[in-house]
Structure 1
Amino acid sequence: MGGTWEALAAKKRQDLLNSIPEDWRIPSHLLPPASQNDITGFPETSGWFTREELDITNSTALELLPRLASGSLKSETVTRAFCKRAAAAHQLVNCLSETCFDRAIETAKALDQRLANGLGPVGSFHGLPISLKDNFHLRGLDSTVGFTSFVGDPAQDDAELANLLIKAGAVVYVKTNVPTAMMIAESVNNTFGRTVNPRNRQLTSGGSSGGESALITFKGSPLGVGTDIGGSLRIPAACTGIFTLRPSFGRFPTLGCRSGLPGQEAVQSVNGPMTRSLFDLEYYCKAIVNFEPWHGDPRCLPIPWRRVTLPSKLKIAVLWHDGMVLPTPPVTRALRQTAEKLRAAGHELLDWSSEDHDLGTQLLGRMFVADGGKSVFRELGKTGEPLRPEMADYGEARELGGFEYWQLHLERIQFQKRYLDRWKKAGIDAILAPVTPFSSVENGKFKHVGYTGVYNVLDYAAMAFPTGITVDQAVDVLQDDAPQPLSDLDQVIRSEYNAEAVHGMPINLQLVAQRLEEEKCIEMCKVIIKALN
């Protein structure tokens, strides 16, 4: 692989653009102006999409799957519609990293022919296009995870999850953009650049699964899969107002994915679905577990999907803040209104102390840089690519020795035990918390993963879900009698808060259950959504 990192990146971006057929390139006279922030309505207003394409791409996965399985809707038709809308999304918000449109269409045709031959559907995802985050290996495609050093290094095999999805009839057609090493809470890197939020292109779509969140919000995918090591599913879901589940390690297969920090296992990366519908999310989770992925991934736990019966009255602890950074006003308002509606519905609510959250966040950060940043600098050094400013911690880190690293593991276990004891003593079913301090935030201004990262250290099941509440710039202002900032970082976030910039944005919250309680987490989320509605 020759050339400078700039040349490699430029060629990769051009190759990606060239992979979009001319028919799926937005005519220049239809392109929305750069000043148009919300482009989610473009497919409907542009006149560039057919009525059939709009009907298909506006549908949920569960609306499409029965029609695909029966043959009343051709997989080729559905696949072409989502390929076109994904191509449009990329041209408007820069959300893709790879395409395999031709392969996807051939796969869809074969699935249609199977039905025509009377052989029946392949599996749970027969004919459904599913998008994947960039780090999932797909044969013949790069998994750059933002590094120019991985440009031109195609995967030889499919990741275990991708293989499983394909066997179940899914049509894989695109991979989506991530930040460098997947270690920034916004999806920006030196190879592809920045993915922006389709609801407001001045705002971030989050990271590291921000390409997925942007694509799904634009309806360029009915269902996507991202990963989470410090909030990388929940943060982008919150920034765009969609659903996601961060499962505990071992529920879904992770074999065959490229890591930004290979070998780092003090805190495990997991993958999970990102959807516009809670029922799509539940369907995906059940289907993946029912495939018994432990037969293909040795670290998957042989736990079938379990039926959960909730108590009639849930006991939910509310984390109003994490002791480090106060939520911005719209998030606090959404948290308060959700708590009030749950209480009115007969559930018991109590306040949850932020004790230990600072420690949990520190542990996470220490785990990420325990190698002194060597993993990151090894890849950067291959092409002379510079370290992005968002990753300054990796340039300042000191490598831990083996003994020190073992002590870090002991601290993690002590932290997990202390949090578990506190949970059990309180007798709670769940924690209701912010996902981030923000609804979303202007590009380049995301700070603080404390609300999510703590639950990665604990390996708890956690959902990010839209509340149906949106930011109101007339209401969500900083009050003169607001509490004092909790930290210097809190003061910076407060000083940068701009209610006008995020006006109208959806507000997500986080629902946290115990480790390996994915089924319960989903059922409790249904209860909360019902109370909110």
Structure 2
Amino acid sequence: MAASMSIDLNLSSKDSEPPASWQKIAQKAQLLRDSTIPREWLLGDPVSDDVRNVIKVPYTCGIMAETELALTDKDATSLLELLKSGRVGSYDVTFAFCKRAAIAHQLVNCMTEMWFDEALDRARELDRIFADSGPVGAFHGLPFSIKNTFAVKGRRSDGAYVAWYDNIAKEDGMLVKIIRDEGAVLYCKTTNPQTAMHLETTSNLYGRTLNPFNRMLTPGGSSGGEAALLAMRGSPIGLGGDGGGSIRSPAANNGLFGMKATSDRIPFVRGTSTMRGCKSFPIVAGPLCHSARDAELFMQTVLDTSPWLQEYNLVPLPWRQTTMPEKITIGLYVDDGSVMPHPPVKHALEALKVKLEADPRFEVIEWSPCKHDLGYDLIRQLYWEDGGVETMAIMESSGEPVLDLSKWVMKDSHVRPRTLKESWELNYQREEFQKEYLAHWLSAPTVPDFLVCPVGPSVAPRHETARYWGYTAIFNLLDYPAASFPTGLTASASIHLPDTDYVPRDTEFDEYNWKQYEPSAYEGAPISLQVVGRKWDCERVLKMAGMLNEVCMS
């Protein structure tokens, strides 16, 4: 099925030869990956680089049948209803998503590996099992994409480091195994950035991933490949990870739902990682998907397997069925006090506020964030307590260049090797910040049930400009559950005019962010927002994300 290639892809070095240069390894990675796209799925007329929005290409390129397009336009929950009722088979669904994923990759460069033949074999097997004994698990027959950083048995687990390209996972990571055992069909891994610590997705190994709504913008990071693939409807649901916004930011940039739960509920053991043993900031695995109900399906399915019986550090907390307050109090803020969002984001928040105030179910209060500048400063230091030494050594071992955003995120102002005492002090400051923030929340004249705020200071940023993570990373520091949700609005040069009266603050980020705003540059980018709850309130946060999306769309 896979397209044949005449080029010799065996670039591994022999004992008598010097190691392959990083450029050759990267060339091998990209050629080998792209050679797995069947010839009949290749775009006959390549889309010009100056075409920004490629969302509609699958409908016009002539590769997909109408029935295939209809299947791939559904959310995961709808597909599972069809699969479990026998109205459609896993083979047909998987074939359609493999085809659309191949188209997506050619347009936005979102994949690290594709194994379509094996996926279709598994789909056939699931169809046979269904005919004999019924569905296999909660995800029976559903295609499921996986971020590159998670271990998938028999697949590369390189984390986008050139030096780790030949790492092959011997076993599925625990969460991937749960997904597979629940009947999902795994068919691809998606891109993440060098270091997995950018809100941009680019690496020397796989190149730059683009935002399909506007390819001059980033899909975000570090789960940017997942988000770009889902935005193109090349996947119904994907697995990502979030240590500073890496699920919520790319989900927001691509008009998706993205869930970051409180840590130690969902298993999170990646296939490739640096700083093993570091617990200074929680990284959480979670879904990127097309609906809030898909995210709830993911959370409930995983927790219904009682993963705490297999992973020692998980809290034995099943997914709970909750009810919302009769009157839901929302603390809404447009500005975190450090970086003023661009006009499209402000407009979306103001529009949502008007709708919420007109809805008898809600009470909206103005929320004053608590020292977000200090919190963001603190987590930036906690990210690299070893001074980035281990990460730099990995890149130096292959000779691959350190990308500009990697240099920025490890800049000397925040990144230096810490003594044990200094590390203890940073972690103590984190705990004190968590205490102070909770006290601030509970001391409000009207205590909010949820916060609603930007996901970032702009819609999808221009390439190489995503420097401010404060709107998302603050809730990693606090370990609060948070979910991004689409508003249905998009950035418009004719509507979202520059605010010529605003004078940027004298801070590291505000003036930089404000100078990036040129309305036409962001044309067509989805506008998303974020809802946040207190620790462990994951169920209600996700339910609230769905409710807020419905309010936005009303």
TM-score range relative to shorter protein: over 0.9
| Normalised TM-score (structure 1) | 0.97
Matching residue of 1:516? 536
Match of 2:374 among 355, 359, 382: 359
3-state SS of the aligned residue for 2:187?
Answer: strand
The answer (yes or no) to whether the contact 1:376–1:394 under 8 Å persists in 2 is no
From 24, 33, 37, the counterpart of 2:52: 37
For 2:348 and 2:318, locate their aligned partners in 1 and report how far apart those are by CA, in whole Å. Answer: 35
SS of the aligned residue for 2:545 comes to helix
Q: Structure 1: which amino acid aligns with 2:449?
A: D
Q: Distance in 1 between matches of 2:269 and 2:516?
A: 40
1:155 corresponds to: 169
What is the one-letter code of the residue matched to 1:353?
S
Shift of 1:488: 4.3
The residue that corresponds to 1:501 in the other structure is 521
1:439 aligns with 2:459: yes
More displaced, 318-327 or 460-469? 318-327
* TM superposition shift of 1:64: 1.1
Mapping of 1:322-341 within 5 angstroms?
322-341=336-355
Question: Bigger CA drift: 192-201 or 307-316?
Answer: 307-316
1:123 aligns with 2:143: no
Which amino acid in 2 is paired with 1:226?
G
* Contact 1:182/1:260, CA 8 A, preserved across alignment: no
- Alpha-carbon distance between aligned partners in 1 of 2:301 and 2:264, rounded to the nearest angstrom: 15
SS at match of 1:52: helix
Unaligned runs of 5+ residues in structure 1 are: none
Distance in 2 of aligned mates of 1:420 and 1:279:
29
Letter in 2 for 1:407: E
Quote how far apart the aligned CAs of 1:193 are.
0.8
Contact kept in structure 1, 2:504 and 2:510, CA below 8 Å: no
Equivalent of residue 62 in structure 2, options 21, 44, 47: 47
Identity, in percent, stands at: 36
Query: Residues of 2 paired with 1:422 and 1:253: CA distance?
Result: 31
Q: Which amino acid aligns with 2:56?
A: G
Equivalent position of 1:68 in the other structure = 83
1:242 to 240, 248, 256: 256
Displacement, 1:214?
0.2
Counterpart-to-counterpart distance in 1, 2:202 and 2:491: 25
Kindly provide the CA deviation profile for residues 113-141 of structure 1, in whole angstroms up to 9, marking residues without a partner as x. Answer: 11222x11111000000001101101111
- What is the CA–CA distance in structure 1 between the aligned matches of 2:547 and 2:206, rounded to whole Å? 40
2:265 is matched with which residue: 243, 248, 251?
251
Q: What is the match of residue 143 of structure 1? A: 157
Matches within 5 A, 1:34-433: 34-117=49-132, 119-346=133-360, 347-392=362-407, 393-394=409-410, 396=412, 397-426=415-444, 427-433=447-453
- How far apart are residue 256 of structure 1 and its match? 4.3
Q: Helix, strand or coil: the match of 2:171?
A: coil
CA contact (8 A) 1:179 1:187 kept: yes
Q: CA deviation at 1:260?
A: 4.3
Q: Write the distance in 1 (CA, Å) between the matches of 2:524 and 2:506.
A: 27
Is the contact made by 1:320 and 1:351 (CA closer than 8 Å) also made in structure 2? Answer: no
d(CA) in 1 for partners of 2:186, 2:202 = 23
Deviation at 1:395, TM superposition (A): 5.8
In structure 2, C-alpha distance between the alignment counterparts of 1:524 and 1:114, rounded to whole Å? 37
Give 1:385's aligned amino acid: E
Q: Distance in 2 between matches of 1:399 and 1:516?
A: 33
Structure 2 portions without partners, runs of 5+: 1-11, 13-18
Distance 1:257 1:154 in 2: 9
TM-score, normalised relative to structure 2: 0.93
How has the CA–CA distance of structure 1 residues 256 and 448 changed in structure 2, closer, same or farther, with 3 Å as cutoff? closer
- How much does 1:485 deviate? 3.0
* Equivalent residue letter for 1:195: T
Does structure 2 retain, via aligned residues, the 8 Å contact 1:433–1:509? yes
Deviation, structure 1 residue 486: 5.1
Aligned-residue RMSD, C-alpha: 1.4
Match of 1:224, SS state, is: strand
Alignment of 1:23 with 2:19, yes or no, is no
Look up the match of 2:8.
Answer: none
